[in-house]
């Protein structure tokens, strides 16, 4: 195994350890009871372990790692339904600030590294609602023309909207101030979009994986007609089909995230997210169906992941929109080739 | 296993393959292999591939391969499909028996069968299924009774791909019925049989689309040397399972074939003027995404294999995915053609289409039926779901006899 693979594996193990200890069911349940998703305590843990600053350059106090180090971490965050803006702050915002150096980056990167500031990123039509915006100290707005502006809390108006997934709160954000222009660079916008789309695919694959695990565990112990319901073939085959989709979604998501800097990074990200959305939709339907009544209760924890996958599937590009774009590109390319 | 390929090594190899294919791939596509003439042309093509050193690039050099690591093998396949080169015909030999011999065969058996197999001088077919034993393969009854240094084989195999064209068959036979009565998986042997032996009768079977792609094979007192058993006598089940693992798992690089099929699908949609049709875009997008996902999976499995991981548990997942994807591609094409989907390969369905697109359409129904078959052969997808649920997910076993 290469050191790179070892590093990745260690990061995932580290993430799993932290999340098992600090983001278990009791944490999620407490968040639901309080109606708050983000907590300074859990975010502080993620910062302490260096996960939040993994992508930040060393001279800003980070570890200077590449996105490829974090795909497995994102999958793990999805599996644990972590109610924190990790993708938004630790992946997207740090990447944008790292790519566009200047006073804004110099001010905000150390705060992010220290776990003292949250940032969210607006990506045009991909983000009609911004997750965790109500908790954010900084908004980075990436426009299609390549311009990137930073807005502080005071320069925005944040109106929370009722989120399907209460552990992933959403808001409508309007900017009220001028903001600060960080630069104009289409490559940065394209790359950040790919990171968001592929990153969301990793989170989705992780969450869908958890739905599969919860279901397999439950049908293995729940007995009816004198045998575990998981011994009925109708149940087994549903679980098997779901396992196929989740496994493939994971393969595509992780590799797309690892490959964001490849020339076809954007289309790989789109394909991965489109498929992860499909796999997650299947997981959503089958997990509840195979749990029966217990899965329908607020008291049982299945709904945390049901809602997580629905929320994520609707964000950073829906399956339908991404597929259509990919199909259009292919059609144009093939028509061109066969004509010439 | 060979050392992992370097990026530069792969690029260089890719360029070499591309150049060779550009020079050698027949300009006009070969007629289908399901008729004699087409089959012979395909066989001649295999001979040319062999001479070029490309019959099985991933095989060890001692067996006539190039010892190409997985990434070079994938690059070869990508180039092969990109070039539109002919369908491979000796799959039973190259993808199934060859690797099995390398794992279980004696040096003598490898020396005897591998060179001819690689050069496509002998075509091999797979004789597992019987009329009474499909999914429940271990219930098979074709018998092989020991008589001195021979086995005497009696029984019937059915639905044997390329059976009508093959020279040899590797068959599962029951050598110890007594052991089989205690446990049906015991007492089975993996036996290689020359189809020209006295007592063998091959009857080609016409497939659902009218082509003669498979056959039934009857054995009446066929004498086969004991030395033709691969692996231990009576322990053929393990050899068979390893064969099926190769059949179900990722044939590294076949994603390139599916990507080409999806490009053809896009061309069909374009030729029907569906460029702006959102329904068509949704359907095309769905299968395009599947092929992209499959490509990612192929590379993931390659990385896993390079790191020494085992791929057995992934084989069933892989088979369910690629067979459904393949079905979806061809099924989508038929549905996008609307009423013309009921007309087989008629150029009138695609006025104004270029030659490549018309050619793809002329083969579309055949490929469609093949896609349907793939969900059945190699262990039906229901059997794969049993395997996934029990061996990957750990759910309770089916009641078994
Ligand atoms: C085009 C083609 C090429 C082939 N080539 C070859 C070849 O080269 N060599 C060879 O040996 N064989 C070959 N086969 C045969 C193939 O392997 C068998 O058809 C397959 O294993 C299924 O067996 P069966 O047809 O007897 O179906 P059956 O086993 O009778 O199955 C009928 C239906 O019942 C379902 N079923 C059966 N058991 C279970 C279970 N336990 N749980 C749930 N569902 C179940 C099956 O999934 C299927 O849907 C080929 C078949 C085709 C169509």
- Range A218-244 average pLDDT: 97
pLDDT on residue A100? 97
Distance CA B228, CA B170 (A): 9
The alpha carbon of B387 and the centre of ligand 1 are apart by a number of angstroms equal to 15
Ligand 1 pocket member B134 (CB < 6 A): yes
Going by C-alpha positions, the residue among B269, B105, B251 that lies closest to residue B191 is B105
**Helices then strands, each counted (H, E), chain A:** 11, 9
The DSSP bridge partners found for residue A44 are none
- Range A28-51 average pLDDT: 97
pLDDT on residue A278? 98
Over residues A199-211, the pLDDT tens digits come to: 999 999 999 999 9
Burial B204-215 (b: 16+ CB within 10 A, else e): beebebeebbbb
Q: How far apart are the CA of A208 and the nearest CA of chain B, in angstroms?
A: 15
Q: How many CB atoms lie within 10 A of CB A288?
A: 18
In sequence order, which residues have a C-beta less than 8 Å from that of residue A19 and are 6 or more positions away? Answer: A76, A77, A80, A82
- Range B214-238 average pLDDT: 97
Going by C-alpha positions, the residue among B153, B158, B152 that lies closest to residue B125 is B158
For residue B129, give the ligand 1 atom closest to its CA.
11
**Residue B268: band (very low, low, confident or very high) from pLDDT cuts 50, 70, 90:** very high
Over residues A143-171, the pLDDT tens digits come to: 999 999 999 999 999 999 999 999 999 99
Q: Which residue spans within B199-339 are E strands per DSSP?
A: 200-205, 214-225, 229-230
Distance CA B365, CA B342 (A): 9
**Residue B306: band (very low, low, confident or very high) from pLDDT cuts 50, 70, 90:** confident
Residues of chain A with pLDDT > 70, as a percent, come to 99
The alpha carbon of B242 and the centre of ligand 1 are apart by a number of angstroms equal to 18
Which tokens hold the place of A32? 């639901």
Residue appearing with tokens 């052991």: B179
- Contact status of A109 with chain B (Cβ, < 8 Å): no
- Range A232-238 average pLDDT: 98
| Closest protein CA for atom 17 of ligand 1 | B377
Domain layout of chain A by residue ranges: 188-339
pLDDT on residue B5? 77
**Residue B1: band (very low, low, confident or very high) from pLDDT cuts 50, 70, 90:** very low
Spacing of C-alpha A45 from chain mean position: 18
pLDDT on residue B251? 66
Instruction: Report the range out of A272-276, B210-214, B353-357 with the highest average pLDDT.
Output: A272-276
Q: How many CB atoms lie within 10 A of CB B244?
A: 19
Indicate the average pLDDT of chain A: 97
pLDDT on residue A340? 66
CB contact under 8 A, B262 and A267: no
- Range A80-99 average pLDDT: 98
pLDDT on residue A106? 97
**Helices then strands, each counted (H, E), chain B:** 14, 8
Over residues B128-159, the pLDDT tens digits come to: 999 999 999 999 999 999 999 999 999 999 99
Indicate the average pLDDT of chain B: 93
> B247 catalytic, yes or no?
yes
Using an 8 Å CB-CB cutoff, list chain B residues near A240: 320, 384-386, 388-389, 392-393
Question: Residues of A numbered 198-257 whose beta carbons fall under 8 angstroms of chain B's beta carbons: which are they?
Answer: 216, 219-220, 227-228, 230-231, 233, 235-237, 239-241, 243-244, 247-249, 251-252, 254-256
> Which domains does chain B carry?
7-89 (1.10.540.10), 124-234 (2.40.110.10), 249-392 (1.20.140.10)
CB contact under 8 A, B396 and A228: yes
Over residues B182-191, the pLDDT tens digits come to: 999 999 999 9
Over residues B64-119, the pLDDT tens digits come to: 899 988 889 999 999 999 999 999 998 888 889 999 999 999 999 999 999 999 99
CB contact under 8 A, B286 and A320: no
Residues of chain A with pLDDT > 90, as a percent, come to 97
Look at B169-178, B220-229, B390-399 and tell me which has the smallest mean pLDDT: B390-399
Asked whether B400 and B390 are in contact (CB, 8 A), the reply is no
Over residues A209-223, the pLDDT tens digits come to: 999 999 999 999 999
Using an 8 Å CB-CB cutoff, list chain A residues near B280: 327
Yes or no: domain A188-339 corresponds to CATH 3.40.225.10: no
CB contact under 8 A, A252 and B267: no
Using an 8 Å CB-CB cutoff, list chain A residues near B336: none
pLDDT on residue B302? 86
Q: In this structure, what are the phi and psi dihedrals at residue B66, rounded to the nearest 5 degrees?
A: -115, 5
Over residues B6-39, the pLDDT tens digits come to: 889 999 999 999 999 999 999 988 998 989 999 9
| Closest protein CA for atom 26 of ligand 1 | B134
Over residues B245-261, the pLDDT tens digits come to: 777 666 678 899 999 99
Asked whether A305 and A272 are in contact (CB, 8 A), the reply is no
User: Is ipTM over 0.90?
Assistant: yes
Residue A338, pLDDT > 70, answer yes
pLDDT on residue B204? 94
**Residue B271: band (very low, low, confident or very high) from pLDDT cuts 50, 70, 90:** very high
Q: In this structure, what are the phi and psi dihedrals at residue A140, rounded to the nearest 5 degrees?
A: -105, 125
CB burial of residue B7 (10 Å; 0-12, 13-18, 19+): exposed
Q: Which of B12, B247, B292, B390 is catalytic?
A: B247
Residue B382, pLDDT > 80, answer yes
**Residue B4: band (very low, low, confident or very high) from pLDDT cuts 50, 70, 90:** low
Beta strands at B143-147 and B150-161: parallel, antiparallel or unpaired: antiparallel
């Amino acid at each position: 195994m290469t050191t790179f693979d070892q590093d990745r594996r260690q990061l995932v193990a580290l993430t799993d350890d932290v999340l098992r200890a600090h983001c278990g069911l009791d944490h999620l349940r407490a968040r639901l009871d309080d109606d708050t998703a983000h907590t300074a305590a859990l975010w502080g843990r993620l910062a302490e372990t260096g996960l939040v600053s993994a992508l930040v350059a060393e001279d800003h106090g980070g570890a200077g790692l590449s996105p490829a180090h974090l795909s497995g971490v994102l999958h793990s965050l999805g599996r644990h339904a972590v109610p924190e803006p990790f993708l938004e702050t630790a992946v997207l915002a740090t990447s944008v600030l790292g790519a566009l150096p200047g006073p804004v980056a110099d001010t905000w990167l150390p705060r992010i590294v220290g776990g003292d500031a949250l940032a969210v990123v607006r990506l045009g039509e991909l983000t009609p609602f911004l997750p965790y915006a109500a908790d954010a100290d900084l908004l980075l707005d990436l426009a299609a023309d390549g311009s990137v502006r930073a807005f502080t809390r005071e320069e925005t108006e944040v109106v929370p909207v009722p989120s399907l997934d209460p552990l992933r709160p959403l808001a409508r954000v309007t900017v009220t101030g001028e903001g600060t222009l960080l630069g104009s660079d289409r490559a940065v916008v394209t790359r950040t979009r790919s990171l968001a789309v592929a990153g969301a695919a990793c989170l989705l694959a992780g969450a869908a994986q958890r739905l599969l695990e919860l279901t397999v565990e439950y049908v293995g112990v729940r007995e009816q007609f004198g045998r575990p319901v998981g011994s009925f073939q109708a149940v087994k085959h549903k679980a098997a089909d779901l396992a196929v989709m989740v496994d493939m979604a994971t393969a595509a998501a992780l590799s797309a995230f690892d490959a964001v800097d490849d020339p076809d990074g954007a289309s790989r990200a789109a394909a991965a997210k489109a498929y992860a959305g499909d796999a997650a939709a299947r997981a959503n339907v089958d997990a509840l169906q195979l749990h029966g009544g217990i899965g329908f209760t607020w008291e049982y924890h299945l709904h945390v992941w049901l809602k997580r996958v629905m929320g994520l599937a609707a964000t950073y590009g829906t399956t339908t929109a991404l597929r259509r774009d990919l199909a259009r590109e292919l059609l144009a390319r093939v028509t061109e080739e066969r004509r010439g | 296993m060979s050392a992992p390929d370097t990026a530069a090594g792969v690029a260089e190899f890719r360029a070499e393959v591309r150049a060779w294919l550009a020079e050698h791939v027949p300009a006009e596509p070969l007629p289908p292999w399901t008729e004699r003439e087409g089959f012979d042309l395909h066989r001649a093509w295999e001979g040319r591939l062999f001479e070029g050193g490309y019959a099985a690039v991933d095989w060890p050099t001692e067996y006539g391969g190039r010892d190409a690591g997985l990434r070079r093998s994938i690059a070869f396949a990508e180039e092969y499909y990109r070039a539109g080169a002919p369908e491979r015909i000796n799959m039973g030999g190259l993808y199934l028996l060859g690797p099995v011999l390398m794992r279980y065969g004696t040096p003598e058996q490898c020396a005897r069968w591998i060179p001819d197999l690689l050069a496509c001088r002998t075509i091999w077919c797979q004789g597992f299924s019987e009329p009474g034993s499909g999914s429940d393969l271990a219930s098979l009854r074709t018998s092989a009774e020991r008589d001195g240094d021979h086995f005497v084989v009696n029984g019937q195999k059915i639905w044997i791909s390329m059976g009508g064209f093959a020279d040899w068959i590797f068959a599962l036979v029951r050598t110890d019925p007594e052991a089989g009565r205690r446990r049906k998986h015991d007492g089975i042997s993996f036996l290689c049989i020359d189809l020209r032996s006295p007592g063998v009768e091959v009857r080609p079977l016409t497939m659902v689309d009218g082509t003669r792609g498979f056959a039934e094979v009857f054995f009446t007192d066929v004498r086969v040397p004991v030395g033709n058993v691969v692996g231990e006598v009576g322990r053929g089940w393990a050899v068979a399972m390893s064969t099926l693992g190769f059949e179900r798992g990722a044939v590294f690089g076949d994603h390139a074939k599916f990507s080409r099929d999806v490009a053809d699908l896009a061309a069909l949609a374009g030729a029907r003027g569906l460029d702006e049709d959102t329904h068509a875009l949704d359907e095309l997008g769905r299968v395009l995404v599947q092929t992209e996902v499959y490509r990612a999976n192929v590379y993931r499995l390659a990385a896993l294999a390079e790191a020494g991981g085992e791929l057995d548990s992934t084989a069933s997942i892989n088979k369910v995915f690629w067979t459904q994807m393949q079905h979806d591609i061809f099924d989508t094409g038929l549905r996008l053609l609307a009423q013309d989907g009921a007309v087989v390969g008629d150029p009138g369905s695609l006025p104004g289409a270029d030659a490549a697109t018309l050619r793809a359409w002329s083969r579309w129904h055949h490929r469609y039926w093949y896609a349907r078959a793939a969900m059945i052969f190699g262990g039906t997808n229901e059997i794969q779901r049993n395997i996934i649920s029990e061996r990957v997910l750990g759910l309770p076993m089916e009641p078994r006899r």
